[in-house]
A and B are shown apart, each in its own frame.
Chain A
């Protein structure tokens, strides 16, 4: 068992929409060290995409800004944090409700937080209006599959 070992990475990127795919790819490459199943990898990629898209679309309202992505592997647990310094969320509880969206054009589904919650084991959202938003997520890989060494 190597539960105590920890590996970390931090990525800082501009709030450009093309970085949504970039962030997914980086986290997928990092998480690959845990030899995830295809489904676990899809879950992680979706959750990262939702969090980074939220930062681009809602946090910065598609204006320039900085997004920081932190990832940590400890044992078989992947922890992620996506931080922006944008407008923040006035009511986090409301924002987390399925189908809730502030998008006036009706092009956003309001399912972002629901997907993050469904695909990760833990989701925590801290936000302050005018200061920004930090989304923390955690997923334990190979849960219930009896992973062994080698």
Chain B
């Protein structure tokens, strides 16, 4: 898991196997970044994710709620067919702007 700050975007590069185990520290790590920097958008990078379960949905929901509190939003990019299907099945597609590339997902 890598965190990158691009302008006011916090880009989170998600792990190849996105599950409860691999994402255990994500909430606290993200919170630290939000406390330290001015972030108006969280950008979730799914381009390296080959497996995801409902943990990914919880992660999206959690970040959406947090950014809404802060007056910001969430975008994602690089999600393959399977991941988009899981997001759609959960009714979460409206919580984040779904983009193809990182450049599209960043707030300028």
- Indicate whether B97 reaches chain A with its CB closer than 8 angstroms: no
* Interface pair A49/B58, CB less than 8 Å apart: no
* Interface pair B20/A17, CB less than 8 Å apart: yes
- Indicate whether B54 reaches chain A with its CB closer than 8 angstroms: yes
The distance in angstroms between the C-alpha atoms of A69 and B40, with both chains bound, is 44
- Indicate whether B8 reaches chain A with its CB closer than 8 angstroms: no
The interface bits of chain B over 48-86 (1 if a CB of A lies within 8 angstroms of the residue's CB, else 0) are 000111110111111001000000000000000010001
The distance in angstroms between the C-alpha atoms of A53 and B17, with both chains bound, is 14
Number of interface residues of A (CB under 8 A): 28
* Interface pair A21/B17, CB less than 8 Å apart: yes
- Indicate whether B21 reaches chain A with its CB closer than 8 angstroms: yes
Task: Give the size range of B's interface with the partner.
Answer: 20 to 34
Known: A111-B90, A112-B54, A115-B53. A20 touches B21 (CB 8 A): yes
Known: A106-B62, A107-B59, A118-B89. A53 touches B82 (CB 8 A): no
* Interface pair B24/A108, CB less than 8 Å apart: no
26 A-B pairs, CB-CB below 8 angstroms?
A17-B20, A17-B21, A20-B19, A20-B20, A21-B19, A21-B21, A21-B22, A45-B51, A46-B52, A46-B53, A46-B86, A53-B20, A98-B90, A105-B27, A105-B62, A108-B54, A109-B55, A109-B57, A109-B60, A109-B90, A111-B89, A112-B53, A112-B54, A115-B53, A115-B89, A118-B89
State the A residues within 8 Å of B (CB). Answer: 17-18, 20-21, 24, 42, 45-46, 49-50, 53, 56-57, 98-99, 101, 103, 105-112, 114-115, 118
